[in-house]
Each structure stands twice: as structure tokens, then as C-alpha cells.
Amino acid sequence: MKINRSVRFGIGIMAIAFAATACGGGEEKSASQSAADGTLTVGIKFDQPGLGQRNPDGTFSGFDVEVARYIANELGVKPEGITFKESPSAQRETLIQNGEVDYIVATYSITDTRKEKVGFAGPYFIAGQSLLVRSDNTDITGRDSLSGGKKLCSVTGSTPAQKVKDSVPDVQLQEFDTYSACVEALRNGAVDAVTTDDIILAGFAAQYPGQLKVVGEPFTTENYGVGLAKDDSETRGKINDAIEKMISTGAWEEAFNNTVGASGYPIPAPPTVDRY
């Protein structure tokens, strides 16, 4: 029996579709399913001293890293099963939505706008937006001293960048991809100040002792959450349980003291998990 060309073409398309499904197409695995296989891909920052940093020897350190590892352990994944993936501020939602990471621990403020795209567990830390300036600067003492054409740097896609646009409309805001790039611009005099959360700025001040300082009282409240797929309620519950356990056992305080503590940033009271 002869099969005409259109029928043969249709059969070929069906075969390709079947092969794609057999090779792993279809629904994306949840983070819990990935953990059941013994592996997790976790998004962190690579350039934030004390929080999420890739060291010269290829290892990773910081408070966010320790939180990420603790959660992974509670999900049943050993340290060698974790792959850390750099997650710049502007790319975090995309990385989650595309399934490139199982969850993100990267100074990720929980906001209503972000919750439209991704889910959050936590918070695991509460910070506040502040300012970093050169140590010899006496003009900038807080948010109210930024007017008059001051040059300020923050990161594209970050909460601090948007908030400073709204609150200080005449400031000259420059947005870079990373805070480390902002800090370099500050050190070489290209900008007058860097703004983001105080705990991040404290890490950079500690990295350049005598050169930089954090000024002013925090002028926002930032609830750091663990970002994951919006509909992955199973994993969200498990991560909330892990955060609560980390706090109650003293592991949270120990992780903070071993990472951020060196910067002189005072340890705050641990947050209450809100179960978003």
C-alpha cells in the first residue's frame, strides 16, 4: 500500500514529538522532584561579600550561600549535589520561570509585583535600604541629602533602584548589572554614592576598609525571601519549614556570625516566616 507524501509528513512530525517527550519534554520538575534525584540548581549572587560570593578558588561563601545549603540539606541534597548559578537582579524571575534554577537565595526582596511571577518562601532575613559613600565624603548623610544632582548608582531590576527613583526624582541614577560594578564606580569617583540594602553595603565596606562607609539610617524594609516557581507550593512549604528550623536551632545565628559578622553589621532579630 502506498502512503502519500502528506501522510508521511504527518507521521514524521508525530514521531519527532514523541521523541522529544521521551527525551525529557513535558512538564518541568518541581524543586522537590529535583531534590529527590539528589541534585539542585540554586541561584545566588557571585559578587556580594559576606552574602553570596564566588571565591578565587571556585568555592562559594556568604550568608545566602549558607541558607541555600541548609535548605538543600533539609530537602535531602548533600553539598556535592548543589550547583550554584549566578543570578543577577534583573534575571531572577526569568531564571525561575525558565526552570534554570530550582530556587534562588540572592538578597531577593519579596514584593507584590514579583509575586505575580514567582513564589516566595520566608522571609529568612530583614534588611533596609541605605547608602555607601567614600570615607572622606561629608556631603551625603542619608536619603534627604541626595538631591541637587548627586550621582547615585544601583542595579538594574533591583528594588532599591526603583524606590530611589520614586523618592528622589532629581537624583542622577546610574544603573549597572551588578553592585560590584557600582562599587568600582564609587571608588574611582564616577558616582557619589551606591544604594542598596544595608547588609550588602556593609559587606563592601568591609572589603575596602578605610575607603568606604555606610551612612544614614535605613529608609526601607526589605524582606528577603527564597524565590521559586509560583505554583510549587510543595517545595515552598518545605523551605519554610527549613528556615524555621534553621532559626530555632541556632544555625541561622551561627551562619550570620561566620559570614556577615566580620563586617561589623550588628546581628538583627531573626524574622518570622510569613508563609507567603
Contact 119, 236 (CB under 8 A): yes
Q: Per residue in 169-203, pLDDT tens?
A: 788 989 998 999 999 999 999 999 999 999 999 99
Instruction: Output the pTM of the full model.
Output: 0.82
How far apart are the C-alpha atoms of 157 and 228, rounded to whole Å?
A: 17
Per mean pLDDT, which range of 19-28, 154-163, 211-220, 224-233 is the poorest?
A: 19-28
The C-alpha torsion from 169 through 165 and 267 to 110, rounded to 10°, is: 150
Contact 233, 119 (CB under 8 A): yes
Structural domains in the chain? 31-127+223-263 (3.40.190.10), 129-215 (3.40.190.10)
Please give the backbone phi and psi of residue 171, each rounded to the nearest 5 degrees, phi first.
-75, 145
Label the pairing between strands 40-44 and 82-86: parallel
Amino acid at 30: S
Contact 42, 68 (CB under 8 A): yes
Q: What is the pLDDT of residue 11?
A: 43
- For residue 195, give the 3-state DSSP assignment: strand
Q: What is the pLDDT of residue 168?
A: 82
Contact 64, 44 (CB under 8 A): yes
Per 3-state DSSP, the chain is made up of helix, strand and coil in percentages (nearest 5) of 40, 25, 35
Q: Per residue in 124-169, pLDDT tens?
A: 999 999 999 999 999 999 888 988 889 999 998 888 888 887 888 7
- For residue 154, give the 3-state DSSP assignment: strand
